Amino acid sequence: MTIHLNSQSDLEDAMERLMKLDPRLRPILAQTGMPALRQREPGFAGLAAIVCGQQLSTASAAAIWARVTKSVDPFHHDAIRKARADRLGRLGLSAAKIKTLKMLAREIASERLNLDVLAEEDADAAHHTLTSLHGIGPWTADVYLLFCLGHGDAWPAGDLAVQEAIKIGLGLKTRPTVKEMAPLAEPWRPVRGAAAHLWWAYYRVMKKREGIIADQQT
């Protein structure tokens, strides 16, 4: 059965389970305290917002997303599907992102893609479904599964902050690669999403100690 992280209480329950699965993480949690649950809007709007923010600073992404949602109101996949590409481009969206958003809108309208179903699927299967779509990379897929759908086992293997936190927290000599992240996280199933929250929190603790403010997108 899929575990969901839809409330702070859900995260706390999952974190308790995580500590039992891997006692090595207890000292990490002691340093971070209980992480706060991070959530984003679900559905097409949530995925579209993540796509809009790809490879942009937090401020730039927020500005573009504000223009898009103000211009396309109410924000719906049919509205994006029918919108002219040049109109979307004037809002600050790149041609590649417009192509991705329109593809997603068509897939949802034709019912070939059901985003709600992904919340109940195995995390790896749901990840594969999303990354098979044009313009949806691993980071976008994992962020959507974890923050928008609350998938308790979503695992952002390619996130640099999580990789760096694991390197420090587990005393590894080098930062683990994406390929190495899978076996490292295997002991944390089916609550790898809770582990991700923990490692992000640990990364922020480490950066504060170094006098560096952690990137808010991590």
pLDDT tens sequence for the chain (218 residues) = 789 999 999 999 999 999 999 999 999 999 999 999 999 999 999 999 999 998 888 899 999 999 999 999 999 999 999 999 999 999 999 999 999 999 999 999 999 999 989 989 999 999 999 999 999 999 999 999 999 999 999 999 999 999 999 999 999 999 999 999 999 999 999 999 999 999 999 999 998 887 755 444 44
Instruction: Return the CATH number of 43-148, one of 1.10.340.30, 1.10.3720.10, 3.40.50.1000, 3.40.50.720.
Output: 1.10.340.30
Q: What pLDDT score does 39 carry?
A: 93
Cα–Cα distance, 94 to 100 (Å, whole number):
10
Q: What is the 3-state secondary structure (H, E, C) of the chain?
A: CCCECCCHHHHHHHHHHHHHHCHHHHHHHHHHCCCCCCCCCCHHHHHHHHHHCCCCCHHHHHHHHHHHHHHCCCCCHHHHHHCCHHHHHHCCCCHHHHHHHHHHHHHHHCCCCCCHHHHHCCHHHHHHHHHCCCCCCHHHHHHHHHHHCCECCCCCCCCHHHHHHHHHHCCCCCCCCHHHHHHHHHHHCCCHHHHHHHHHHHHHHHHHHCCCCCCCCC
Q: What pLDDT score does 24 carry?
A: 96
Pinpoint the residues of the chain covered by CATH 1.10.1670.40. Answer: 8-38+153-209
**What b/e readout covers 152-183, taking b as 16+ CB neighbours within 10 angstroms?**
bbbbbbebebbbbbbeebeeeeeebeeeebee
Q: What pLDDT score does 216 carry?
A: 43
Region of 7 please: left (phi>0), alpha (psi -120 to 50) or beta.
beta
Domain spanning 8-38+153-209: CATH 1.10.1670.40: yes
Pinpoint the residues of the chain covered by CATH 1.10.340.30. Answer: 43-148
